[in-house]
Amino acid sequence: MRYISPLRYPGGKARLAPYIARLISRQRPRPRSYAEAFAGGAGAALRLLANNEVDHIHINDLDPGVAALWRCIFHDSENLTHLVASAEVSITEWYRHAEIYKNPSGRTDIELGFSTFFLNRCNRSGILRARPIGGLDQTGNWKIDARFSRESLIERINYLATFRDRVTVTQMDARSFIRHLEPQHDDILMYVDPPYIVQGDRLYLDSLTGEDHKELANILHTTPLKWLLTYDANKRITEDLYKGFRCVEFDILHTAQIQRTGVEYAIFGNKLILPEVTGIIGEGNFRWMTSKRKREVPQSAAGQSTSSSQ
pTM of the predicted protein model: 0.90
- What gap in Å lies between CA 292 and CA 70, rounded to an integer? 41
DSSP H helices in 27-139? 43-50, 64-75, 77-86, 91-102, 109-122
pLDDT for 201 equals 43
Both 26 and 58 in a single domain? Answer: yes
For residue 156, what are the CA distances in angstroms to 148, 149, 161, 162, 210?
A: 13, 11, 9, 10, 37
Residue 255 belongs to domain with CATH number: 3.40.50.150
Q: Is residue 5 part of a domain?
A: no
Looking at 102, 134, 160, the residue that finishes a domain is 160
Q: Tell me which of 160, 194, 214 is where a domain ends.
A: 160
Q: Please state the domain count of the chain.
A: 2
Q: What is the pLDDT of residue 2?
A: 87
Give the tens place of pLDDT for each residue, 144-199. 999 999 999 999 999 999 999 999 999 999 999 999 999 999 999 999 999 988 75
Residues 103, 37, single domain; the answer is no
Clarify whether residues 128 and 217 are in a common domain: no
Task: Please tell me whether residues 225 and 250 are part of one structural domain.
Answer: yes
- Who's near 236: CB < 8 A, 6+ residues apart? 197, 213
Q: Is 20 exposed, middle or buried (0-12, 13-18, 19+ CB in 10 A)?
A: buried
Lowest mean pLDDT among 19-28, 84-93, 279-288, 298-307: 298-307
Domain region containing 119? 75-160
> Is residue 9 assigned to a domain?
no
pLDDT in tens, 95-129: 999 999 999 999 999 999 999 999 999 999 999 99
- In a domain? residue 4: no
* Cis geometry, peptide bond prior to residue 6 (ω within 30 degrees of 0): no
Question: Of the residues 128, 160, 192, which one is the last residue of a structural domain?
Answer: 160
Same domain? 192 vs 230:
yes
Total Cβ atoms within 10 A of residue 88 = 9
The reported pLDDT for the residue numbered 282 is 58
Question: Does residue 199 share a domain with residue 241?
Answer: yes
What's the pLDDT at 188?
A: 99
